[in-house]
Structure 1
Amino acid sequence: MDTSTGIGAPLALTLSDDGLFATHISGKDLLLYSNPASENKKLHVARNKETVVKTVRFSPTRDLTRPSIERRLLVASDSRISVWQLDQLQLFAEIENLEPGTLNTEFGAYENEILVFHAWHTKMAIHSLDTGHSSMIKSPKFSHHLGFGYRPQTRQFAILLKPESSDLLTIHEPQSYSLINRVVLPTFDAQGLKWSPDGRWIAVWDAASSGTKVLIFTADGQLFRTYTGPSEVDESFDLGVKLIEWSPAGNVRASDILAIGKVNGNIDLLRTRTFSCSTTLSHVFPSDQSSAKIWRERYTSALGDAEYAEATSSSAFNMSPECLGPPRGVQIMTFSSDGTMLATVDTARYNVVWIWSLNGTPRLLSALVHEQPVRQLAWHPSTQQLLINAISNNLPTIRWWSPNDYPVIVQVPTQRSESGKYEVKWLVGSENDSAFWFASAEEYVVGYLSELDDKVAFEVLNAVTSQGYGGHTGSIS
């Protein structure tokens, strides 16, 4: 996450992708928190050279089961990039005299590579901290994560370019970034690319105005398939693609499904053997009440306490207002860690979480209807547990779902955000594998859900405020 901060700004914490590190900047103080859910938690403080910071990023964890000891932290201002070693929080390297107007700065394939996207998308610079050398790729189409990506394991680099009128896809060797292939895309306005988690495929999707158009390339850039939607659908009613998502590479180390989220709210599921549509999911409440469990959020007190109650399709439908204006379409799609479930949110009913079972014939397993829009969904990294983060204008709460238990709504003992917007992130590899972050702009708490006397409570392990670790102890039910 990016954070803009300065003297007197509220706490804005940046989390590592595994949740085991967090950092924020207060004036020129750089504060690093490690092992937040452990009794051996640590707080390191170092002096940063800049007071106004544009970007803060952790180097990614490539293998979440074996975190690298070379984890690093990138802190970028308009004129300088500082790279810090996380062990003891020591300055490792600096890149100075940046051109003004930098669009994005982040780590490359490795901890010793820095990507810098220059103003007006003129070029992307790759800086090697090992050699001190830099290389360039001209005319990147985007500076965000949908415009480029690294192949899992082997780290070949794919990027969308827009040098003139045509979209280009180029693929480059790791480290040297020498060209492997250059493809002129048959797209009107390519919107992004994604590698499959098994590294076999690259998917590129076109603008919604072009109708459904997803290009499937092999890892070396050869066009394998062009998907234009189910054959039985009238193209005149095709509103195009909103987003795509690959299923994870499971025990067989293959990504079996490519989910195509459409502007009309449907989701086409493509089996990766043929990349033809096997099933289309529609965000419609079932007429057969026995086919899916529908849960409706309801408030149980004037203080904002809430719970889930089982509901009928008709009552859930009446509680779910249609979206009155653009943009329409699938807003969130996220697979469970084993790829057997898919959780989705559609902007037509932005307060509903739809959970689909993909074992055998795909079917709606459950739907959870809320009072407010759903902001975020987070599957547990190894088990079938889903955290649901909805905008809450009352007390800060987290919603939890599992296929084997009743869903619950639990208050979190943190400062109430006036906007009602919070963030959640699971911790990976911590001593408590059910721990997660729950964050507002002013405070981040780490904890887990526990059950005592048939009541579920949020047990706080640690809290981070602008003063460091501390805050709460105990739990709130």
Structure 2
Amino acid sequence: MNFSELFRQSLQLCKFSSDGKYLACAVDYRLVVRHFDTLQVQHVFSCLDAVQYIEWSGDSQFILCGMYKRGMVQVWSLESPDWHCKIDEGSAGLCAVTWSPDGRHILTTADFHLRITVWSLVTKSVSYIRYPKQCIKGIDFSSGGKYMALAERRDCKDHVSIFSCQAWALVRHFESETEDLAGLEWSPDARVLCVWDSCLAYKVLLYSLDGRCLARYSAYDLALGVKSLAWSPSSQFLALGSFDKKVRLLNHVTWKTVATLSHPEVIESSNAVIYKEEETRVPAAPPSVIGKAATASLYGSQSKYDVLACPVKVPTSSPTSNKANPRLGVGLLIFSHDNKYMVSRNDNMPCAVWIWDVRKISLCALLIQANPVKCVCWDPSRSRLALCTSNNKLYMWSPEGSLAVEVPVEGTFLIHNLAWHPDGDAILLIGKEQMCICFLTPTSDANVANNTSTINNTTANAADTQDDVDRQTITFESEMITHSGKDMVQGNLNGVSSNGDQGEKKS
């Protein structure tokens, strides 16, 4: 493994582009784009306010920056840095923004979920979608980007609308059989739409594209229900994590339970390999090395995995019953990209990571960490798992074994979040205010290891050149769009109102 130097970032806003060529990170009001191969700064874009959200377009040609406090979105182009777009929601406010699958439309959600606005970067047209519901996952795009499913709330009832992402026309609209719809998600093959109710009722509904209810599933009544959900990449299984500390696998033919996976506090006997992290405490650093980061790091705790024999007791924590969102139930479910493994975490066992063999439908491995697990993510190209526990170590698991690696950087760097490179060749390690990259394959580029460029110098150079360049700008102003009060309140029968060619172009 090779580690890069530390780079600044804000609010953990760091993302690889879809093609893996670039790495974007927000630093206060600036957006810094680096080339992945050399980690050299390619572009520095100055935004109008502090950036609170960033997202790449599907083709990696554009990147948007959401500034929710201002109700504004700025879009930047990597191919034409002189071009940029500004979207202003005005008095409606802004609480969410996302790209459409084609990378040429932007969807913004107004405050209090009053409406969703579709902004076209090509035709500069603006369309409104009424009645969006505020829930855990109210919008989901099908694989291939052909359809968009939207959760709506009309006349105190839940509805689901399916739109075509090409013409943004309503394809199907139907009422959902839920009391309080909590979310919806397409299957990977885009044939089935899964809708689930709030945690107060265990209810999962499967709909076809034309709105027919294919199946209904409920494991029990009069108790807290679904907490997490995940489709297998092959669409053959639907995993449901519940508040009763169990995972239920449904098959795609009959939508019946194939297996129920439990998370017991004591593992009596199992064929799974149980790893436990053991920290080695070293003597305190002498006064002579205090303040010398490179030397003081040698006196930190070191970790290694020990293989335990059954029976093994899994550390648990008692949930607080007098607070909202208690740490109870299966809150994490993720399938590996090859559909061979699934990882889960029971929230009242915050230090345990359960890895299941999907082919055998049995426990494959159990990782017991010394600290609560903060982030878990699968390698997008092979069966390999990475996790972090808010310390200076990176943990990895594969069918061949597990390892713990300390990040060799100067000073204190605690890993709070992880992100895999699209090719699986590197991992982005994200701290509170810094980040670095762990390269898993050898590289011959000396610029990666010896990169010493700073953001401040690059920003100064970019600021000098910005004043001499005329920018072609597309500006969307919500207050500039003319519409009648009737159109905003009632709209049309399809639930979508459109105003075309209302943008303003400046040069």
Q: Distance in 2 between matches of 1:323 and 1:286?
A: 18
Displacement of 1:89 after TM fit?
3.4
> Which whole-Å deviations, capped at 9, do the CAs of 1:10-53 have from their partners, x for residues lacking one?
57542136454333344654321122xx24x4412344350333
Q: Counterparts in 2 of 1:203-218, with a 5 A limit?
A: 203-210=194-201, 212-218=202-208
Q: Distance in 2 between matches of 1:337 and 1:110?
A: 23
Q: Distance in 1 between matches of 2:366 and 2:26?
A: 40
1:309 matches 2:289: no
1:80 matches 2:69: no
Q: Which residue of 2 aligns with 1:438?
A: 429
Instruction: Name the SS for the 1:372 alignment partner.
Output: coil
RMSD: 2.8
1:397 matches 2:370: no
Displacement of 1:333 after TM fit?
0.7
Q: Counterparts in 2 of 1:53-452, with a 5 A limit?
A: 53-60=51-58, 68=59, 71-77=61-67, 78-87=70-79, 89-96=81-88, 98-142=90-134, 146-210=137-201, 212-229=202-219, 235-236=221-222, 238-249=223-234, 255-284=235-264, 287-302=267-282, 303-317=300-314, 319-325=315-321, 326-360=326-360, 362-392=361-391, 396-404=392-400, 406-414=401-409, 420-429=414-423, 433-449=424-440
Q: Which residue of 1 aligns with 2:498?
A: none
CA radius of gyration, larger in: 2
Q: Distance in 2 between matches of 1:267 and 1:168?
A: 27
Displacement of 1:9 after TM fit?
8.6
- Uncovered stretches (5+) of structure 1, i.e. residues with no partner: 1-7, 61-67, 250-254, 452-458, 470-477
> Which whole-Å deviations, capped at 9, do the CAs of 1:203-259 have from their partners, x for residues lacking one?
01001211x210001123221111112xxxx635x431111100013xxxxx11000
Q: Distance in 2 between matches of 1:139 and 1:369?
A: 45
Instruction: Name the SS for the 1:109 alignment partner.
Output: coil
**TM-aligned CA distance change 1:49 to 1:260, over 3 Å:** closer
> Which whole-Å deviations, capped at 9, do the CAs of 1:285-321 have from their partners, x for residues lacking one?
664535211111111233210011012344443x444
Aligned length: 422
Displacement of 1:463 after TM fit?
8.6
343-352 or 293-302: bigger deviation = 293-302
Q: Distance in 2 between matches of 1:312 and 1:461?
A: 45
Alpha-carbon contact 1:445-1:462 (below 8 Å) kept: no
State percent identity of aligned pairs. 24
Q: Distance in 2 between matches of 1:298 and 1:103?
A: 43
Q: Distance in 2 between matches of 1:199 and 1:336?
A: 19
1:381 maps to amino acid: P
Alpha-carbon contact 1:157-1:173 (below 8 Å) kept: yes
Q: Which residue of 1 aligns with 2:482?
A: none
Higher relative contact order (CA 8 A, sep 6+): 2
Q: Which residue of 2 aligns with 1:252?
A: none
Q: Which residue of 1 aligns with 2:25?
A: 24
Q: Distance in 1 between matches of 2:453 and 2:236?
A: 40
Q: Distance in 1 between matches of 2:433 and 2:207?
A: 44
> Which whole-Å deviations, capped at 9, do the CAs of 1:358-404 have from their partners, x for residues lacking one?
114x1001101012111111111121110011232xxx001110112
1:201 maps to amino acid: V
1:243 maps to amino acid: S
Q: Distance in 2 between matches of 1:408 and 1:235?
A: 42
**TM-aligned CA distance change 1:101 to 1:463, over 3 Å:** farther
Q: Which residue of 1 aligns with 2:42?
A: 44
Instruction: Name the SS for the 1:131 alignment partner.
Output: coil
1:246 maps to amino acid: W
Q: Which residue of 1 aligns with 2:34?
A: 33
Alpha-carbon contact 2:15-2:25 (below 8 Å) kept: no
Alpha-carbon contact 1:375-1:389 (below 8 Å) kept: yes
**TM-aligned CA distance change 1:388 to 1:416, over 3 Å:** farther
Alpha-carbon contact 1:121-1:143 (below 8 Å) kept: no
Q: Distance in 1 between matches of 2:9 and 2:132?
A: 33
Q: Distance in 2 between matches of 1:207 and 1:11?
A: 29
Alpha-carbon contact 2:266-2:312 (below 8 Å) kept: no
Displacement of 1:449 after TM fit?
4.6
Alpha-carbon contact 1:24-1:31 (below 8 Å) kept: yes
1:334 maps to amino acid: I
> Which whole-Å deviations, capped at 9, do the CAs of 1:75-120 have from their partners, x for residues lacking one?
2332432211123534343324533531111212221101010111
**TM-aligned CA distance change 1:286 to 1:358, over 3 Å:** farther
> Which whole-Å deviations, capped at 9, do the CAs of 1:404-439 have from their partners, x for residues lacking one?
2x2111101346668x5521111123xxx4311111
**TM-aligned CA distance change 1:30 to 1:450, over 3 Å:** closer
TM-score norm. by structure 1 comes to 0.81
Instruction: Name the SS for the 2:229 alignment partner.
Output: strand
TM-score norm. by structure 2 comes to 0.77
Instruction: Name the SS for the 2:112 alignment partner.
Output: helix
Instruction: Name the SS for the 1:162 alignment partner.
Output: strand
Alpha-carbon contact 1:104-1:143 (below 8 Å) kept: no
